[in-house]
Structure 1
Amino acid sequence: MRLIHLALLACTAFALTSCNDTLDTVEADVSHIKNKVGHPLSPARLAEMQKKDMERNAPIMIRIFKEEGALEIWKAKRDNRFDKIAEYQICAWSGKLGPKVKEGDRQAPEGFYNLTPGHMNPNSSYYLAINTGFPNRYDQANGRSGTNLMIHGACSSSGCYSMTDAQVLEIYAFARDAFTGGQKTIQLQAFPFRMTAENMVRHRHSENLDFWKMLKVGYDNFEVTKRPPEVNVCEKKYVFNQQTEGGSFNASAQCPAMSTPPALANALAGYGKTYDLAYEKAVKKYDGMAWYDPSEAERKAVVADKRKGREAAYAPTGSSLKAGKLMKEAEFAALMDKKNHVTPVLTPQAPAATASTPRPATPQQSPVSTGQTAIASNTTQPAAGMTTASVPVPSMNPLAFAPQQAPEPEKKKPFWKLWATE
Structure 2
Amino acid sequence: MSKLLARLGLVAVLVASAALAGCVSMDGEDDRGSIPLNGKIVSEMTAKGMTPADPIMVRIYKQESELEVWKRTSNGTYALLKTYPMCRWSGKLGPKMREGDRQAPEGFYTITRAQLNPRSQYFLSFNLGYPNELESALGYTGAALMVHGACTSAGCYAMTNNGVGEIYALAREALKGGQEEFQVQALPFRMTPANLAVHRSDPNMAFWQNLREGVDYFDLTKQPPTVTACAGRYRFTPGPLPADAKLDPLGPCPVDPASAAIAQRIQEREAAEAAEIASIAAANPPLAASYVDGGMHKSFRDVLRRAGPEKLAALTSGVIPVSQPDAALKDPYPGAVTVSAAQ
**TM-score (norm. length: structure 2):** 0.77
Deviation at 1:41, TM superposition (A): 1.6
The aligned counterpart of 2:163 is: 167
User: In 1, are the aligned partners of 2:199 and 2:286 still within 8 Å (CA)?
Assistant: no
Amino acid at match of 2:278: E
Deviation at 1:57, TM superposition (A): 0.9
CA distance in structure 2 between the partners assigned to 1:63 and 1:290 by the alignment? 26
The farther-off stretch of 163-172 and 245-254 is 245-254
Deviation at 1:239, TM superposition (A): 0.7
Amino acid at match of 1:164: T
The aligned counterpart of 1:280 is: 278
User: In 1, are the aligned partners of 2:145 and 2:155 still within 8 Å (CA)?
Assistant: yes
The aligned counterpart of 1:191 is: 187
Structure 2 counterparts to residues 57-76 of structure 1, below 5 A: 57-76=53-72
- Pair 1:294-2:291 in alignment: yes
Deviation at 1:307, TM superposition (A): 6.6
Amino acid at match of 1:278: E
The aligned counterpart of 2:198 is: 202
Q: Which has the larger radius of gyration?
A: 1
The aligned counterpart of 2:20 is: none
CA distance in structure 1 between the partners assigned to 2:49 and 2:334 by the alignment? 36
The aligned counterpart of 2:218 is: 222
CA distance in structure 1 between the partners assigned to 2:180 and 2:131 by the alignment? 19
Counterpart of 1:178 (choices 141, 160, 174) is 174
User: In 2, are the aligned partners of 1:82 and 1:226 still within 8 Å (CA)?
Assistant: yes
The aligned counterpart of 1:152 is: 148
**TM-score (norm. length: structure 1):** 0.63
The SS at the match of 1:40 is: coil
CA distance in structure 1 between the partners assigned to 2:286 and 2:254 by the alignment? 41
The aligned counterpart of 1:128 is: 124
CA distance in structure 1 between the partners assigned to 2:256 and 2:211 by the alignment? 19
Deviations 1:152-199, CA, capped at 9 Å, x for gaps: 111110000011111111110010010011001110000111111221
Deviations 1:125-158, CA, capped at 9 Å, x for gaps: 1111100110100110000010100111111100
Deviation at 1:325, TM superposition (A): 6.0
The aligned counterpart of 1:253 is: 251
Deviation at 1:294, TM superposition (A): 2.7
- Pair 1:49-2:69 in alignment: no
Deviations 1:61-117, CA, capped at 9 Å, x for gaps: 110010111111111111121111111111011111111101000001100000000
Aligned residues: 289
User: In 1, are the aligned partners of 2:293 and 2:333 still within 8 Å (CA)?
Assistant: no
Amino acid at match of 2:199: H
Deviation at 1:291, TM superposition (A): 4.2
The aligned counterpart of 2:90 is: 94
The aligned counterpart of 1:38 is: 34
CA distance in structure 1 between the partners assigned to 2:127 and 2:102 by the alignment? 16
CA distance in structure 2 between the partners assigned to 1:234 and 1:317 by the alignment? 41
Distance 1:74 1:308, change over 3 A: closer
User: In 1, are the aligned partners of 2:91 and 2:297 still within 8 Å (CA)?
Assistant: no
The aligned counterpart of 1:238 is: 234
User: In 2, are the aligned partners of 1:74 and 1:86 still within 8 Å (CA)?
Assistant: yes
The aligned counterpart of 2:26 is: none
Gaps of 5+ in 2: 1-29, 299-320
Deviation at 1:259, TM superposition (A): 3.7
Deviation at 1:256, TM superposition (A): 2.6
The SS at the match of 2:123 is: coil
Amino acid at match of 1:294: Y
User: In 1, are the aligned partners of 2:87 and 2:329 still within 8 Å (CA)?
Assistant: no
The SS at the match of 1:255 is: coil
User: In 2, are the aligned partners of 1:92 and 1:315 still within 8 Å (CA)?
Assistant: no
User: In 1, are the aligned partners of 2:32 and 2:119 still within 8 Å (CA)?
Assistant: no
CA distance in structure 1 between the partners assigned to 2:270 and 2:329 by the alignment? 49
The structure that is strand-richer by fraction is 2
Runs of 4+ with deviation above 6 angstroms: 242-246
The aligned counterpart of 2:109 is: 113
The aligned counterpart of 1:8 is: none
Instruction: Give the aligned CA root-mean-square deviation in angstroms.
Output: 2.6
User: In 2, are the aligned partners of 1:91 and 1:316 still within 8 Å (CA)?
Assistant: no
Provide the identity percentage. Answer: 37
Deviations 1:195-224, CA, capped at 9 Å, x for gaps: 112211211121211111111111111111
The SS at the match of 1:173 is: helix
The SS at the match of 1:128 is: strand
